[in-house]
Structure 1
Amino acid sequence: MKKNLKSKWLLLLPLAMGAFGVTACSDDYDPWELLETEVTSTIPQNNLEKVAWNGGTFTINVKTNGSWSIEVPAWLSVDKSEGNGDATIEANIARTSVAGERTGELILKTTGSESSNVAGRNEEKIEFKQEGLENAIKITDCTATFTKQLTDDYEYYQYGYKIKYTINNELTDEELNDMVNEVYLYTYINTSFYCEISGGEYKYNLNKTDLTKGTHVLENNECWSIRNKNGAYLNLRQIGIAIKTKNGIKVIYSTTDIEK
């Protein structure tokens, strides 16, 4: 009986010593953490807001317990591309040189490390859009007048318009000529059943000089001719100014506020 008890004790002794050894050594190691990453930015990141055509400076805020690196498009620069722990990154988006919006993507990668007892990997993306160069042309003020005059023989009414506008154009002459293929004036009219012409959209060619910075006047008093008879009338209800680039036609100004 005593022999059996002794044998069982010898079998259990190494297990007890092993357990004691693990407990004694556990104080020599720090506990491991899981990688945590949070990225925020002042760069617009929705379909309603875009980075302006002339770029700008933005910040990217990184909160992490690991190390990080960032990848950016060629037309965006950052003041630091890698680091460890929390950081504020300054990002500069360059002025665009082409018509049509462009899409950019930032990729921030974070990793843990054995030396800091942090485990894990993470990747965060920031996607954004920048306006095209055509947005450098802006009409800031416009007055439109609808004109009407009777001919000397009283047989026709001559209808037309006078449009005065101020334009802000920050393009060089070379950029303007390279980007803009055509310039248009659109007019939208209503007519009665008794008119010889129908209502709808009418397009007229303008010159690139009509896009130069400053104040311009577009005037045509004999745009439409309507016979002078009962029930005949014509109304100018909307005007628009547009440019044509390789990406299509873009209306840079439109108004229904027309003086009669």
Structure 2
Amino acid sequence: MRSFPLALNTLREAIRDKILYVILLFSFILISSGILLKSLSLNQENKIVLDLGLSSISIFGLIITIFVGTNLLNKEIDKKTIYLLLSKPLNRSDFILGKFMGLSIMLLMIVASMGMAFYLVLWYTSGGLSGILPIFESSAQAILLIYIEMVLLTALAIFFSTFATPVMSAIFTLAAYTIGHMSNDIVSFGKLSQSPLVVQLTQFIFYLLPDLERLNLKNHLMSHAVSAEIFGGSIAYGLMYTLGLLLLSMVIFDFKEF
């Protein structure tokens, strides 16, 4: 695969970025603060650690995705290295795919690191392995879907960066993230407005932007893991949307002039 060497190079560049380590450090601190909050809770230790830990993974993952994803293409253009890369036996679609793969691998490493920190804190606050086992499957499902969400947002950030500046790409990605977690509320608002135009507009937004609530399992954590059908459907939805964004990015980037 011609894009694989570029993916490895993208991964190496991302790992050398010191700002990522600062963000990762803050995420570890916030996840670990669940230990301090244990003494303030009333028989809700696991719930607090779960909510705080998974929210930390999601928020800091979003920050990293926006910070790195929106600068992937423009960094190569500004440094003029894109001309060297595209002069090799590497077409523009391979370039997009390689950049995406490199960042996705980096995000997998980051999510795995934060997930390990999360389970260490949970192990400490719940009194050992016996306290983790009842919620391990549901929490593991939630972490995996957080990663799928990051991958989708990476594809979205790359898509925006094919035609917008890094700042505007970051704003668009953050807006899509916010609306994606409020899509059902937006549709409900449209129905309450009793205006056909508003209803159609909210329906258009709902189907155009990703429904990120399909990748959010926080409400199921203290009860049980979701069924394989729902879990698999959520993964398939995230991956199909990601694939569509990558294809659009390749088409736009193929016509882009430098």
Higher radius of gyration, 1 or 2: 1
Q: Give me the TM-score of the superposition, normalised by structure 2.
A: 0.25
Q: Give me the TM-score of the superposition, normalised by structure 1.
A: 0.25
Q: Which has the higher contact order (CA 8 A, sep 6+)?
A: 2
